[in-house]
């Protein structure tokens, strides 16, 4: 930190912020500081409008909404996929909006996990989100393998981050498939996806990534890097709403591969309603759809993606890095001596869109923040995650958040709460 940060400095940064206008696009409570966009993004007016459009199409057209109306539903998943593709660094036909992270993982592991001979294991890590591990375990057991023996999880040296060297060392001859997070959900570490993909392919291993904590927060180059597959949710940085439909990517070299889990919406579109009992898969990522699209859970994404097209993911990444750098500087400046430890990587190239603070009293501090009109995120056992989101967070928001946190610590306000998580943390 080259200078002491002040409220006036925060206001100056906001004045020169070329993305500041997007804050007015969102529904934000007055005098409330929302720092949890890495768990659930806020509602935008564009998302609301897009949802209302699909409701109106249903109202006006009934079943004919599939092909008529302002936004016909039959090709909706493909349209959303093409609009999401620039954020993934993919070709339009390589992306489809469908399912959820876990159902899409089941689909893609079922498709790409092909154990043969001694190459039977799946490589993951010990810090990844539990749902990913549950899906891997299920798929191993469905193929007749015990997950105790055939799931390999790379160990963390510090409990918060991973070393790419350790992951590469674990790419042994018995690994059939690799699944890793792009950004670790607890610490916010950004892995080197390009390097890991190249190393996996040198060894003939299929590799995929869970982009839950990176899509919409930073640029990707999935096609150029040769990543085999990826999955993500759209309700975090992409602001599609609670339980919003997820997305998946499959590199074009795998087009024509039979889906591991077949369903009629994976059909070639002009064949789908022939009602044949032999699937003719789409010649795109659309082949990996299973069931009918959830239109009302997909529609908000269309409006949200308009904002990303206008802002540009490169500019959003620059502001995100600046906001999180400002936040870390303020933690060091204002909260020194209160027991906080920054456990996310400091370097820009290794950091996602949120910062992670370790504290022994993390659960009760998060409760105190909520009472003081700050929405943080708690992750067991002792992590406070804070995500100032480039589209709707200001530098002044970050300044005020840290000042509120300082007040809570100075006055020991957190002590009135139990140091246990709420049902939804």
Question: Which parts are annotated binding residues?
Answer: 101-102, 129-132, 210, 213, 235, 264, 292
- The two three-digit tokens of residue 208, written as one number: 């995929």
* Strands, E assignment, 160-290: 175-181, 206-210, 229-232, 247-250
Q: Which of 307, 308, 257, 303 minimizes the C-alpha distance to 283?
A: 257
- The two three-digit tokens of residue 386, written as one number: 């804070």
DSSP β-bridge partners for residue 116 = 119
- Residues 398 and 15: their CA atoms lie apart, in Å, by 15
- Residues 96 and 281: their CA atoms lie apart, in Å, by 14
Binding-site sequence positions for pyridoxal 5'-phosphate: 101-102, 129-132, 210, 213, 235, 264, 292
Q: How many CA atoms lie within 13 A of 345 on its CB side?
A: 19
Please calculate the CA angle 423-344-191 and round it to the nearest 5 degrees: 105
- Residues 393 and 42: their CA atoms lie apart, in Å, by 11
Strand (E) or helix (H) holding 308: helix 295-311
- Residues 47 and 301: their CA atoms lie apart, in Å, by 6
Q: How far is CA 318 from the centre of its chain?
A: 18
- Residues 86 and 216: their CA atoms lie apart, in Å, by 10
Would you call 321 helix, strand, or coil by DSSP? helix
Contacts of 77 (CB under 8 A, 6+ apart): 96, 97, 98, 245, 265, 286, 289, 293, 298
- The two three-digit tokens of residue 379, written as one number: 């992750």
- What's the Cα-to-Cα distance from 280 to each of 87, 97, 255, rounded to whole Å? 29, 20, 12
């Amino acid at each position: 930190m080259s200078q002491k940060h002040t409220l006036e400095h925060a206001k100056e940064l906001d004045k020169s912020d070329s993305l500041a206008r997007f804050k007015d696009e969102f529904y934000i409570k007055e005098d409330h500081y929302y720092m949890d966009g890495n768990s659930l993004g806020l509602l935008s007016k564009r998302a609301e409008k897009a949802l209302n459009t699909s409701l109106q199409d249903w109202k006006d057209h009934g079943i004919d909404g599939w092909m008529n109306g302002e936004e016909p539903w039959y090709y909706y998943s493909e349209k959303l996929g093409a609009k999401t593709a620039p954020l993934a660094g993919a070709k339009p036909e390589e992306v489809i909006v469908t399912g959820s992270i876990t159902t899409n993982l089941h689909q893609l592991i079922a498709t790409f996990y092909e154990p043969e001979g001694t190459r039977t294991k799946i490589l993951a890590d010990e810090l990844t989100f539990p749902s990913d591990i549950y899906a891997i375990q299920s798929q191993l057991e469905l193929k007749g393998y015990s997950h105790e023996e055939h799931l390999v999880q790379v160990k963390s040296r510090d409990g918060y981050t991973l070393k790419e060297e350790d992951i590469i060392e674990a790419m042994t001859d018995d690994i059939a498939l690799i699944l890793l997070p792009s950004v670790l959900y607890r610490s916010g570490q950004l892995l080197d996806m390009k390097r890991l993909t190249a190393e996996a392919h040198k060894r003939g291993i299929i590799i995929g990534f869970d982009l839950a904590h990176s899509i919409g927060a930073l640029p990707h180059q999935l096609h150029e890097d040769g990543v085999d597959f990826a999955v993500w949710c759209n309700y975090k940085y992409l602001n599609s709403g609670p339980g919003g439909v997820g997305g998946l990517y499959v590199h074009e070299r795998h087009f024509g591969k039979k889906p591991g889990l077949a369903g009629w919406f994976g059909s070639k579109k002009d064949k789908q309603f022939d009602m044949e009992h032999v699937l003719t898969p789409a010649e795109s990522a659309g082949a990996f759809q299973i069931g009918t699209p959830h239109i009302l859970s997909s529609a908000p994404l269309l409006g949200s993606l308009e904002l990303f097209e206008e802002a540009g993911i490169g500019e959003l990444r620059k502001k995100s890095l600046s906001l999180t750098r400002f936040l870390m500087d303020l933690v060091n400046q204002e909260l020194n001596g209160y027991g906080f430890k920054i456990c996310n990587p400091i370097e820009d190239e290794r950091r996602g869109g949120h910062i992670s603070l370790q504290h022994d009293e993390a659960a009760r501090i998060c409760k105190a923040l909520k009472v003081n009109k700050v929405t943080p995120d708690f992750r067991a056992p002792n992590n406070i995650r804070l995500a100032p989101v480039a589209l709707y967070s200001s530098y002044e928001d970050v300044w005020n958040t840290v000042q509120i946190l300082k007040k809570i610590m100075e006055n020991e306000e957190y002590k009135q709460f139990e140091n246990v998580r709420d049902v939804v943390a």
